[in-house]
Amino acid sequence: MAKGFFISKTLGIVGIVIGAGAVATIIALSVVYSQEKSQNNELKPTSEVTTTKAPTVPTTAPSNEPWDQWRLPQTLEPEFYKVLLWPRLQPNPTTGLYIFTGSSSVVFKCVQETDLILIHSSKLNMTKDPTLTAHGCTPAPSIRSTWMQTKTQYLVIHLEGKLTVGEKYELHTEFVGELSDDLGGFYRSEYIENGVKKVVATTQMQPTDARKAFPCFDEPAMKAVFNITLLHDRGTTALSNGKDIESIDTEVDGVEVTRTVFDATKKMSTYLLAFIVSNFGFIQNGDEKPLIRIFARRAAIESGQGDYALNVTGPILRFFEEYYNSTYPLPKSDQIALPDFSAGAMENWGLITYRETALLYDEESSSNGNKERIATIIAHELAHQWFGNLVTLRWWNDLWLNEGFASYVEYLGANKSEPDWNINDLIVLNDVHRVFAIDALASSHPLSSKEEEIQRPEQINELFDAISYSKGASVLRMLSDFLTEAVFTEGLQTYLEHFKLSNTVYTDLWDNLQMAVDKTGTNLPKTVREIMDRWVLQMGFPVVTINTTTGQISQKHFLLDPDSVVERPSQFNYEWFVPIKWRKNTVTSEPIWLLEKNAIKNEMKTNANEWILANIDVVGYYRVNYDPENWNRLLNALQTSKDDIPIINRAQIIDDAFNLAKARIIDITLALRTTQYLSSETEYMPWEAALDNLDYFYLMFDRTEVYGPMQAYVGKQVKPLFEYFTTLTNWTDVAKGHTDQYNQVNALRVACSTGLENCTTLVKTWFQQWMDNPNANPIKANLRSTVYCSAIAAGGGKEWDFAWNMFQTAALASEADKLRAALACATQPWLLNRYLEYTLDPNKIRKQDATSTIINIASNVVGQSLTWDFVRANWAYIFNQYGGGSFSFANLINGVTKRFSTEFELQQLKQFRDDNSAIGFGSGTLAIEQSIERTTANIKWVAQNKEVVLKWFTDAAKTL
């Protein structure tokens, strides 16, 4: 699955002008911008989102009844399902409910004697008594009783006698379920076309909602073959994992319908099933195999919005066939864009579902960030078609390997279709740096969880976090680098070949990689497993310290808050086997391994003209610190000969310095000094690293006297960048390179937000031109998010209503998203309060977008307190609507509280936790605790740093 939406990590800028009361200045708020800039960020949680502690097993009274256990007993194994489903796209005239009816026959084998059948079923009503027949010669025992165990989501069938080991049985059920708009299981999505409401029936099964569509053994290791049949209104199209092999018009219960029968699937897990009935249009590739089709609303297909996805899918598929040395396992690959979808995308085998913004592209109106998001999410989901779908992890505790892997190779896949983008480098900003911020908390957790710790659906949902995705991707990238790509892919290929159509645990991959290491004679200081255990079984990562005077090199668990207490024990004492790529000035040296806590490496001693730089290209998952002399030489090199330092490492120096300062390992002024050379920097990655880190300063200080001098300093630094892009593009054009385009947006955003008049005038003019002629938007797609946000912040009801109107009528989902985010930039409280109310009305803001909209509003310094009041007042409702989802709920809690930095706010937060303990926090339970931990740390940080930061900015701004 790909993450649903992205919340800005650069939200701090929101506060820039408003906080200081300089209301007249146009502000380019970054709320929107970040959605814009993509970096495929929408895939990832923000730096401050969830880090989960090992979830605890339920505290309710223990029961030994099998139906009170969250895991299926090991008594039955499904082999084959025949499923018929009939979604009704019109509400029932008497009840007003949208429903589906269905029947399912599952053939299973008894592998342990039992008189119980437990099969997952949730929110389904049985319309007939289930029946059981034997496939062998011994007749099936008759059914004694049947009931629904609601809490653990089972249909329980108690038999008169025992099932016989080795025999096969067939269980038949008939049922009705609601086709509700809850974005889970079999659900409905709606949109308006030519003034008419259209309904789509679609699915999202991962992780535990296949049981909402039909009774099934809903665990990933319970693989089976599925024969699917859909009944649907004449004129609609039915899709599923397999190819349709027959589509016949017929009559059922006096209703005219079409019956579409799908080819039997391969042996697969229930969470990868998909059923869709729609009125969509599609485009497809030529005669090549496999068949590739892109489905979407007809208007979207007709205006060419599916073309880009179709263009890139073929090349990416072929890339993975080569990478895995395995032909695409299915005859077709359908991809479909849905108006309502909770995640970013879902890798259902052969029928991948997407949010519209993750699949649909428009040459005129989509930004390069939108384009990057589409290419990377497609690559992510296609990567899963083998890794995850063909070979599946046995249980959800290993989710990190599935998602971490796809999050790593999505860059490789996208790079294949867009080789000019240098997209592989961006993993450092998007994943490595981002997850460092979370994994440096004492409340982080290891990649790997114990199987028995992950039981309930909300525990499973909580695993879809930044650690699984971004840390998983980061350590796999490191592994691939130190093994070499050739060895890594060799091991990967034998792993897939070995385990196809079955299930694994993560060490199976290590074993196959080890075989490749042994076969190729690759030189490693330890086995793959010994090295990786350190990264997988213990949380966190080291800071490696190099003393260039003594040659001493050492490692220590890096904690953002040095006062925090690590309660989680580690069998490895928080020491890692660290591969270190490094160089002395421009000379790259032999990589070394740090296998102990401390070592002396004489080659790391330097003389007065030399500097050492370690973790070249940030392929290693660790931070680096040096002796003060080496830091000074590096800062000097940035000022005088920055091209001697690779671009990625310029970003690293900034990000490491700021975080080492936060952890009180180095002085905060040393971190601030890393930004001084930026006045001569034009590359995106270092700028982005600096802005990301300065955002925290904005969050903490934009309501204080630090704000003015900070603005003056940042404005001074960005001015040359703004002028650079003025010369390059005159703002009538976009820069050529992909990351240059991102930095062009940075230049505009920050120049405007620090009040540079040339910038604010530009932006004001563009928006006014658009308001004067709504049918001809003159604003370049890349710049729209920033421009919209600035204009709405500076404007009032008129600008807001104009943008709201444009939002509602936007023909392209990503354009609507830019406007939706920009609407949160308003600075008048009544506009923000009204907007908050809209988030509770699905006719105004779709459910899939509600939490991200609330977070956008909270990120605005004016909206922050309004949102906090709103969330508290509406907690019960918000919880019931969104509490169960995988991604958005923890994001909501973190997003609303990220600015908290006073004792008063901390008390309010604790009060909120206590007041709502009865309702609960669902998948945001740990996010509440993290918010409290973060607020506590913020209070301390502000107290310690405010004076010195104020002085530094004041001095730095004076030298204007």
Ligand X SMILES: *[C@@H]1O[C@H](CO)[C@@H](O)[C@H](O)[C@H]1NC(C)=O
In whole angstroms, how close is the CB of 463 to Zn ion at the nearest point? 12
Helix, strand, coil percent values for the chain (each to nearest 5): 45, 20, 35
Q: Would you say 263 or 817 has its CB closer to ligand X?
A: 263
Distance, in Å, from the CA atom of 221 to the CA atom of 882, rounded to the nearest integer, reads: 28
Binding test (CB under 6 A) with ligand X, winner from 36, 263, 439, 905? 263
Structure tokens at 171: 């269980």
Asked if residues 624 and 546 have their Cβ atoms less than 8 Å apart, the reply is yes
Known binding residue 498? Answer is no
Residue 82, binding choice from ligand X, Zn ion, none, Cβ under 5 to 8 Å by partner class: ligand X
Residue 406, binding choice from Zn ion, ligand X, none, Cβ under 5 to 8 Å by partner class: Zn ion
- Note whether 473 binds Zn ion by CB under 5 A: no
Structure tokens at 520: 């190729």
- Per CB under 6 A, which of residues 186..245 are in contact with ligand X? 227
**381 tagged catalytic:** yes
SS3 900: coil
Asked if residues 130 and 155 have their Cβ atoms less than 8 Å apart, the reply is yes
- Note whether 117 binds Zn ion by CB under 5 A: no
Token pair 């993560």: residue: 506
Binding test (CB under 6 A) with ligand X, winner from 77, 190, 497, 575? 497
Distance, in Å, from the CA atom of 191 to the CA atom of 200, rounded to the nearest integer, reads: 8
In whole angstroms, how close is the CB of 879 to ligand X at the nearest point? 21
∠ CA 796-798-804 to the nearest 5 degrees?
100
- Note whether 300 binds Zn ion by CB under 5 A: no
Residue 125, binding choice from Zn ion, ligand X, none, Cβ under 5 to 8 Å by partner class: ligand X
Residues in the chain: 960
Residue 599, binding choice from Zn ion, ligand X, none, Cβ under 5 to 8 Å by partner class: none
Asked if residues 896 and 435 have their Cβ atoms less than 8 Å apart, the reply is no
Known binding residue 738? Answer is no
Residue 809, binding choice from ligand X, Zn ion, none, Cβ under 5 to 8 Å by partner class: none
Q: Residue 293, Cα to own-chain centre: how many angstroms?
A: 25
Q: Would you say 409 or 613 has its CB closer to Zn ion?
A: 409
Residues 6+ apart with CB under 8 A from 866: 829, 832, 833, 836, 857
- Note whether 896 binds Zn ion by CB under 5 A: no
- Note whether 418 binds ligand X by CB under 6 A: no
Strand partners, 544: 555, 624
H-helix segments, 484-601? 485-499, 506-520, 528-536
In whole angstroms, how close is the CB of 564 to ligand X at the nearest point? 47
Question: Other C-beta atoms within 10 Å of 627: how many?
Answer: 17
**Active-site residue identified among 381, 410, 490, 688:** 381
Query: Environment class of residue 771 by beta-carbon count within 10 Å: exposed (0-12), middle (13-18) or buried (19+)?
Result: middle
Q: Would you say 315 or 778 has its CB closer to ligand X?
A: 315
Q: Would you say 356 or 905 has its CB closer to ligand X?
A: 356
- Note whether 311 binds ligand X by CB under 6 A: yes
In 3D, which of 675, 685, 683 has the Cα closest to residue 715? 675
In whole angstroms, how close is the CB of 503 to Zn ion at the nearest point? 17
- Note whether 377 binds Zn ion by CB under 5 A: no
SS3 601: coil
Residue 283, binding choice from ligand X, Zn ion, none, Cβ under 5 to 8 Å by partner class: none
Q: Would you say 97 or 873 has its CB closer to ligand X?
A: 97
Distance, in Å, from the CA atom of 553 to the CA atom of 558, rounded to the nearest integer, reads: 15
- Per CB under 6 A, which of residues 313..332 are in contact with ligand X? 325
Q: Would you say 178 or 695 has its CB closer to ligand X?
A: 178
Size of the site for Zn ion (CB under 5 A): 3
The residue with its CB nearest to Zn ion is 406
Residue 99, binding choice from ligand X, Zn ion, none, Cβ under 5 to 8 Å by partner class: ligand X
Asked if residues 542 and 561 have their Cβ atoms less than 8 Å apart, the reply is no
Residues 6+ apart with CB under 8 A from 590: none
Structure tokens at 265: 């699937």
In whole angstroms, how close is the CB of 83 to ligand X at the nearest point? 11
- Note whether 346 binds Zn ion by CB under 5 A: no
- Note whether 372 binds ligand X by CB under 6 A: no
- Note whether 406 binds Zn ion by CB under 5 A: yes
Binding test (CB under 6 A) with ligand X, winner from 22, 134, 148, 264? 264
In whole angstroms, how close is the CB of 502 to Zn ion at the nearest point? 20
Question: Other C-beta atoms within 10 Å of 364: how many?
Answer: 10
In whole angstroms, how close is the CB of 282 to Zn ion at the nearest point? 24
Q: Would you say 261 or 614 has its CB closer to ligand X?
A: 261
Q: Would you say 80 or 838 has its CB closer to ligand X?
A: 80
SS (H, E, C) 302-339: HCCCCHHHHHHHHHHHHHHHHHHCCCCCCCEEEEEEEC
- Note whether 92 binds ligand X by CB under 6 A: no
Interface characters, 116-145, with ligand X (x: CB under 6 A)? ---------x--------------------
Q: Would you say 410 or 458 has its CB closer to Zn ion?
A: 410
Q: Would you say 96 or 195 has its CB closer to ligand X?
A: 96
In whole angstroms, how close is the CB of 518 to ligand X at the nearest point? 16
Binding test (CB under 6 A) with ligand X, winner from 193, 249, 288, 363? 363
Binding test (CB under 6 A) with ligand X, winner from 164, 493, 552, 916? 493
- Pick the piece of the chain touching ligand X (CB under 6 A) from 29-37, 174-182, 617-625, 764-772: 174-182
In whole angstroms, how close is the CB of 449 to Zn ion at the nearest point? 17
Phi, psi of 247 (to 5 degrees): -140, 110
Longest CA–CA separation in the chain, Å:
92
- Note whether 308 binds ligand X by CB under 6 A: yes
Q: Would you say 342 or 366 has its CB closer to ligand X?
A: 366
- Note whether 4 binds ligand X by CB under 6 A: no
Distance, in Å, from the CA atom of 496 to the CA atom of 465, rounded to the nearest integer, reads: 25
Structure tokens at 717: 């630094």
- Note whether 176 binds ligand X by CB under 6 A: yes
Known binding residue 384? Answer is yes
Structure tokens at 676: 């001084």
- Note whether 307 binds ligand X by CB under 6 A: yes
Q: Which H/E stretch holds residue 757?
A: helix 757-772
Distance, in Å, from the CA atom of 960 to the CA atom of 952, rounded to the nearest integer, reads: 13
Find the Cα–Cα–Cα–Cα dihedral 47, 53, 59, 62, rounded to 10°. Answer: 120
SS3 32: helix
Distance, in Å, from the CA atom of 181 to the CA atom of 340, rounded to the nearest integer, reads: 9
In whole angstroms, how close is the CB of 422 to Zn ion at the nearest point? 23
- Pick the piece of the chain touching Zn ion (CB under 5 A) from 129-137, 319-327, 406-414, 736-744: 406-414
Asked if residues 355 and 345 have their Cβ atoms less than 8 Å apart, the reply is yes
Residue 178, binding choice from Zn ion, ligand X, none, Cβ under 5 to 8 Å by partner class: ligand X
∠ CA 735-379-739 to the nearest 5 degrees?
15
DSSP string across 624-662 = EEE-HHHHHHHHHHHHHHGGGS-HHHHHHHHHHHHHHHH
Residue 319, binding choice from Zn ion, ligand X, none, Cβ under 5 to 8 Å by partner class: none
- Note whether 178 binds ligand X by CB under 6 A: yes
Token pair 């009840």: residue: 95
H-helix segments, 245-306? 298-302
Phi, psi of 351 (to 5 degrees): -145, 85
- List residues near Zn ion by CB under 5 A: 1, 403, 406
Active site residue ranges? 381
Q: Which segments are annotated as binding site?
A: 380, 384, 403
- List residues near ligand X by CB under 6 A: 82, 97, 99, 125, 176-178, 227, 263-264, 307-308, 311, 325, 361, 363, 493, 497
Q: Which segments are annotated as binding site for Zn(2+)?
A: 380, 384, 403
